Structure 1
Amino acid sequence: MPKPILLLNCGSSSIKYQMIDADTEAVMAVGLVQKVGDPTPGTIDHEVDGETFHDETYFPSHTEAIAAVVKMFDTHGPDIVDAVAVGHRTVHGGTDFNSTTVINQSVINKLVELSGLAPLHNPPGIAGIRAAREILPDVPHVAIFDTAFFAELPAAAHTYAIDRELARKYQIRRYGFHGTSHQYVSGQAAEFLGRDISELKQIVCHLGNGASVSAIDGGHPIETSMGLTPLQGLVMGTRSGDVDPGLHAYLGREMKLSVSEVDTLLNKRSGMFGLTGKTDMRDIDQLIAAGNEDAKLGMDVYVHRLVGYIGNYIAQLGGIDAITFTAGVGENAANVRKMVVDKLSYFGAVLDDEVNSVRSKQPRRISTPESKIEILVIPTNEELAMVRETIKAIGG
């Protein structure tokens, strides 16, 4: 008898969803709702048994969007009433939530209080939770936090050098994100290598449109690149990553921009988009091949920042056993992996260029036998990790 778990990832204008059987870990359905809250018609695509069903209608709010998801399940299957729980991806848990949590009204109230820490992410997530609980009230709902895996970062790693009383009052610290992926991939890397995770010093590079890197010692994270918000750290698709904090004041003075306008600039008009005009690495590769100097510089900045973090983390770990690439860029951009690993030759990392160039959806080793560091590519599966967390939270 299947044990279906419905997973919801609610953005401001979209909802990604999957239903996965917790027993077999097989994907039963997957879908995407777009243009939630938009005045123009939105779309919903629902895939089950290899067939995709499409519909277009208006989604004034997340309530109507979730209702459309339920209708797709009712019409095309699988039966949503068989779901034993709903797992919600929740970006920011602040200092209040350091593990997956069964949702009740007090949890929702606390998430609302924390919205200031993730104003772009938490409010739509809360809207999705409310809508799903209203439409599916008879099953437990669970919040899986992006920040939870990094909740126990060492104090020296998570503390900012600002007024300590102000930091305590407003919960200002480095939280880290993509925690579900970093936890899953580090566990899979240990399994792939046939070693106990408690023995391993690992660096995980989660490289997608959002990107982060973590240092994991014996299964416990000791560093990660993202901070109070997902803006800190690596160069990303549209996010700047690290910049001088004084940039906000400078642009405010020189361009008469508000803090909100600078925040939008750094989150949505920077990163690879700001440097090259593109966010897809394939498009950037084409520009580089055509001799575009901006694209070449953008790629150099991207790699420079990532290598800098990796070198820092090798020092913080006191050595390194494995470096793993994951997520869209990490799994598919062979040239990015090569540029990074070639710069790590001082540490004894040696890439197998032939193996690295082969596209695959399977976990694989891309270093040579003589390499002193295991270089791996492990596809992330945040949805599967969310299912496991959901089952754990509801007691099996």
Structure 2
Amino acid sequence: ANHASNLGALMADKLAKELSVPAYIADPITTDEFIPVARISGVPEIERKCRAHALNMKAVARKAAEKLGIEHAESRFVVAHMGGGISVGALVGGKIHDVNDALLGMGPFSPERAGALPLAGVLKLAYCGDFSQEQLERKFSKNSGLKAYLGTTDLREVEKMIAAGDEKARLINDAMIYQIAKEIGGMTATLDGQLDGIILTGGMAYSDRLIADLTHKVKAFGTVLTFPGEGELEALALAACRAVNGLEVVLEY
């Protein structure tokens, strides 16, 4: 799938050669740490992929472990990154044991993306003759979710609509929160209910309304910690420091 993050390695390589310095790629979207059972989809020809907002999810798991005073290597968290796309994953010792594919498939719908869909409806759209494969991929990854229902990807605008009495906006917003909570519950089950906390992060975590509504639904599963925003530049810098200082094994591909 096309994504701006695919340019990262090319840019890093170019800058490294120009400046004669090493370059590191840290926790990319396709970081694959799935446990074997998480790969099984139910259809032998289709394998579930580990594709998520790994950089920020791993960074906030480190921060949460430090905040709780536990060893990162022994930590067990469910992390929900909520931005243009939504990733909800089970992290054990900082490794992503399971997560929904945040780009095309599984998980909650988001401001832009469709999330998990009924297969009958997908097949109907695929064969109705109105869409090419590329057009459908764009529809599901860029033109679904809040954008399709309400005409905006900005949660702040959605909340203004709700405040003005728009019942459709309220329903769609509640449905998104419902789906996020359901995914968090599912990931809690993959950890056998044994977790140190639930971490809410990403741009949408700045919304007091969303955090309050989501916390109400999932607080029974464990301690809820919030780290609004993405902090990806900080995460990149800290990852490079760990590599340079020999605190992490540097892999070459």
TM-score range, shorter chain: 0.7 to 0.9
Pick from 120, 131, 141 the counterpart of residue 3 of structure 2.
120
Cα offset for 1:310? Answer: 1.2
CA deviation vs aligned residue, 1:340-363 (integer Å, no higher than 9, x gap): 122236x2x6xxxxxxxxxxxxxx
CA deviation vs aligned residue, 1:45-97 (integer Å, no higher than 9, x gap): xxxxxxxxxxxxxxxxxxxxxxxxxxxxxxxxxxxxxxxxxxxxxxxxxxxxx
- Counterpart CA distance in 1 for 2:120 and 2:26 is 34
Whichever structure has more strand as a proportion of its residues is: 1
- Counterpart CA distance in 2 for 1:200 and 1:391 is 22
2:149 corresponds in structure 1 to: 275
Pick from 238, 245, 248 the counterpart of residue 388 of structure 1.
238
Where 2:11 maps in the other structure, the secondary structure is helix
Pick from 126, 130, 134 the counterpart of residue 260 of structure 1.
134
Cα offset for 1:207? Answer: 1.1
- Counterpart CA distance in 1 for 2:240 and 2:93 is 24
Q: Relative contact order (C-alpha < 8 Å, sep 6+): which is higher?
A: 2
Letter in 2 for 1:119: N
Pick from 126, 135, 144 the counterpart of residue 26 of structure 2.
144
1:269-348 alignment, distance < 5 Å: 269-319=143-193, 320-330=195-205, 332-344=206-218, 347=220
Q: Does 1:211 pair with 2:60? A: no
Where 2:146 maps in the other structure, the secondary structure is helix
Where 1:142 maps in the other structure, the secondary structure is coil
Extract unaligned runs of 5+ from structure 2: 247-253
Pick from 64, 67, 80 the counterpart of residue 192 of structure 1.
67
Aligned residues: 244
2:36 corresponds in structure 1 to: 155
CA deviation vs aligned residue, 1:121-152 (integer Å, no higher than 9, x gap): 46544653565456x25222222342465x22
Letter in 2 for 1:222: H
Cα offset for 1:222? Answer: 2.4
Letter in 2 for 1:378: F
Cα offset for 1:190? Answer: 1.1
- Counterpart CA distance in 2 for 1:123 and 1:200 is 30
Cα offset for 1:325? Answer: 1.2
Extract unaligned runs of 5+ from structure 1: 1-117, 350-372
- Counterpart CA distance in 1 for 2:21 and 2:218 is 49
1:65-76 alignment, distance < 5 Å: none
1:355-370 alignment, distance < 5 Å: none
Instruction: Report if aligned partners of 2:8, 2:25 keep a CA contact under 8 Å in 1.
Output: no
Higher-Rg structure is: 1
CA deviation vs aligned residue, 1:9-38 (integer Å, no higher than 9, x gap): xxxxxxxxxxxxxxxxxxxxxxxxxxxxxx
Where 2:156 maps in the other structure, the secondary structure is helix
Q: Does 1:178 pair with 2:27? A: no
CA deviation vs aligned residue, 1:186-227 (integer Å, no higher than 9, x gap): 111111111223554321111112221111234433221226
Where 2:25 maps in the other structure, the secondary structure is strand
TM, length-normalised to structure 1: 0.56
Pick from 77, 90, 104 the counterpart of residue 202 of structure 1.
77
The change in CA–CA distance for 1:280 and 1:252 in structure 2 (over 3 A counts) is same
Instruction: Report if aligned partners of 1:140, 1:394 keep a CA contact under 8 Å in 2.
Output: no
- Counterpart CA distance in 2 for 1:130 and 1:258 is 35
Cα offset for 1:265? Answer: 1.0
- Counterpart CA distance in 2 for 1:269 and 1:328 is 18
Letter in 2 for 1:342: H
- Counterpart CA distance in 2 for 1:234 and 1:194 is 31
Where 1:378 maps in the other structure, the secondary structure is strand
Letter in 2 for 1:143: I
Instruction: Report if aligned partners of 2:88, 2:187 keep a CA contact under 8 Å in 1.
Output: no
Cα offset for 1:314? Answer: 1.8
- Counterpart CA distance in 2 for 1:159 and 1:381 is 32
- Counterpart CA distance in 2 for 1:133 and 1:220 is 28
Whichever structure has more helix as a proportion of its residues is: 2
1:33-52 alignment, distance < 5 Å: none
Cα offset for 1:156? Answer: 0.7
The change in CA–CA distance for 1:205 and 1:241 in structure 2 (over 3 A counts) is same
